[in-house]
Amino acid sequence: MLDSELRKEQVLGAGEQIKRLLPANDEHSSNLIKRGLVLYRQGNVYNIKTTSDSISAKVQDVTSVQVRLNFEFFNLSSCSCPSNSICKHIIATFLYIYANVDRLATFIDHWKEDKDQQNILTQLKRASSLLKSGKDYDENSLSSWIAFFDDEYEQWRDKADSLSHNQLVQSLYLHYYPSIKLKAPASPEMKQFFNIQAAVTTFIKMAELLNKTKPDDYMLQHIFSPYLLQLVDEVRAAIKEMKRYALPFALDPLLEDSIGRFRDLLFCSEYYEFERLSLYRTLWLELLRRDKWIAKEREELAADQENYKLFPAEYDLARMHMDFLQSKDDHLFKNLAAASVFAFPYTFDWIEDLIHKKNIQRLSKWFSFSVQIIPQYINAPASFEEKRGTIHYFMGLVKRYVEQTKNEQFYEDACQAALPYSFSEYHDFLLHKQKYRKWIEVQALLGFSIVEIDPFYLREAEKAEPKAVLPLYHHAVEEEIKYKTRQNYKTAVKYLKKLKTIYRKLKKEEVFENYLMRISEEHRRLRAFQEELRKGKLIHA
């Protein structure tokens, strides 16, 4: 089935990726390969289907699961089981395919090579450590750390020379980054700061690599983004861990020397602007928030006219961040109002910081300003998905603010300002508060027909506010008649009967009779409609 050379090359290439993704010296990876091998040997892989670049199959485990292998990017292979990463079913399918192009023992031996080499290297390192004095870097010198990172990078680059551009980014995270973290100092607070610097360095190296390879949007979003976001998360986790300890004064020189290093995040790449700025601002918010260092950063930014021309957005937002750190909110609001409409999402880090510190006075000003600029943002030329994601995140921040202030009216005001992108949040809020009249008005405002509204909530609204639902049914009747088919006339009559019931509850039967007489007379030439009215016993012959 898989006898073409092209297919064999693809399978062997996938085997190389597995070797890197699931190293044999990792216990979890080793167990995963073993479990996949058991499934394969039990004959549980079946129903194989091939395309030019992927293979799908079913694997019988406790239940049957569907697997799809991606040869070019094996970590994007998928399985219908609950696992969200490479699982034993994916491995079993790969082993089945591999056995069709080469001896399975060849793959297993090749996969184990790194483990054997690692054992040898470990022994060599233990022996060499007896002879070696000193360390790879000076613990008290950031420049020494950076030199060490660069030296390790060159060594990694030599070994990774045969990898494709796409695989290099993966290898940076999976191999280079763990290798430098292993050399972290022993003291807890110094170790965490070293790990922060290692993550920032890896982030910058990735971004610089992307400058050379010019990836398309799919690669940026689906292949590389998870690694960069994971580095951002690891920086935040290390900062949180650092704050468990009283930071020694010896760390101050390292922090001050980091000002320039962290600024490199702003100007290292044309890609991932939001992520670079977010990481830069997190580092300043949590580690460098001192007036003398802020003053130093302002001076350096003001002097850097070259990067101002190349990265104007990053430059402006970095200067705004210094304003935020010094609580110069009114000045910041003026700059934000004059900035691009896309500046709105960049305010979220600042708002989150104020929420975390429970600074209600500043928060009130920030949320009032944010609601004012929302209309600019929602009218900007961006996709619905992007705007919806941004507003959803913002409404989550508003909810946290309201939990602190109990100002529920502000939540409703924010929902109204962000419509239609806040519809889901506003919908849930109004129902929770049983504001059915307002809920119906929002449905009508956004053009939802009566068939698109959840019937359960429509019934609840009718019970609580029967008068409020009348416009929905009136509009529905007119819409059905407009289409002029027998089925539409039947549906219109159904809605008319519903209207009759509601008017009777309101003790306004006369109003309904007048409305029915008018609509019947208006459409007297529609014989089919007149027949349905008679069948429904709404009018008489």
Tell me: pLDDT of 126 over 50. no
**pLDDT value of residue 133:** 35
Q: How confident is the model at residue 121 (pLDDT cuts 50, 70, 90)?
A: very low
**pTM, rounded to two decimals:** 0.67
Percent of the chain with pLDDT over 90: 57
Q: What's the confidence (pLDDT) of residue 196? A: 96
Pick from 3-12, 32-41, 82-91, 429-438: least confident: 3-12
DSSP state string for 287-349: T---HHHHHHHHHHHHH-HHHHHH-HHHHHHHHHHHHHHTT-HHHHHHHHHHS-GGGGGGGHH
Phi, psi angles (nearest 5°) of residue 474: -60, -45
What's the confidence (pLDDT) of residue 131? 37
- Cβ contacts of residue 197 below 8 Å, gap of 6+? 142, 145, 146, 149, 258, 261
Higher pLDDT, 40 or 298: 298
Read off the pLDDT of residues 494-538 as tens digits, 9 standing for 90 and up.
999 999 999 999 999 999 999 999 999 999 899 999 999 999 999
Model confidence band, residue 114 (pLDDT cutoffs 50, 70, 90):
low
Please determine, for residue 1, whether its predicted confidence score (pLDDT) is greater than 60: no
User: Is residue 128 predicted with pLDDT exceeding 60?
Assistant: no
- Integer CA distances (angstroms), 144 to 41, 207, 252, 356, 392, in order: 52, 22, 16, 35, 44
Q: Does residue 367 register a pLDDT over 90?
A: yes
Judge contact between 301 and 319, C-beta under 8 A.
Answer: yes
Q: Quick one: pLDDT at residue 258?
A: 95
Whether 4 has a pLDDT exceeding 60, the answer reads: no
pLDDT of residue 324: 96
pLDDT recorded at residue 50: 80
- 122 pLDDT more than 50: no
> Which pLDDT tens digit goes with each residue over 148-186?
999 999 999 888 878 887 788 889 999 999 999 999 998
Question: Helix, strand, coil proportions of the chain in percent (round to 5)?
Answer: 75, 5, 20
Max avg pLDDT among 60-64, 319-323, 463-467: 319-323
The mean pLDDT value of the chain amounts to 87
Supply the DSSP symbol for 447. Answer: T
Low-confidence winner among 52-66, 473-487, 522-536 (lowest mean pLDDT): 52-66
Distance (Å, whole) CA 14 – CA 342? 41
| Secondary structure in 3-state letters for 487-500 | HHHHHHHHHHHHHH
Output the pLDDT for position 449.
85
Residue with the two structure tokens 């070019």: 72
Average pLDDT rounded to a whole number, residues 48-76: 84
Mean pLDDT computed over 258-287: 94
Across 251-277, average pLDDT: 93
What is the band of 250 on the pLDDT scale with cuts at 50, 70, 90? Answer: confident
> Three-class SS of residue 66?
strand
Integer Cα distance of 114 and 255 in angstroms: 38
C-alpha 2, offset from chain centre: 38
Q: Do 19 and 114 contact (CB within 8 A), yes or no?
A: yes
Q: How confident is the model at residue 60 (pLDDT cuts 50, 70, 90)?
A: confident
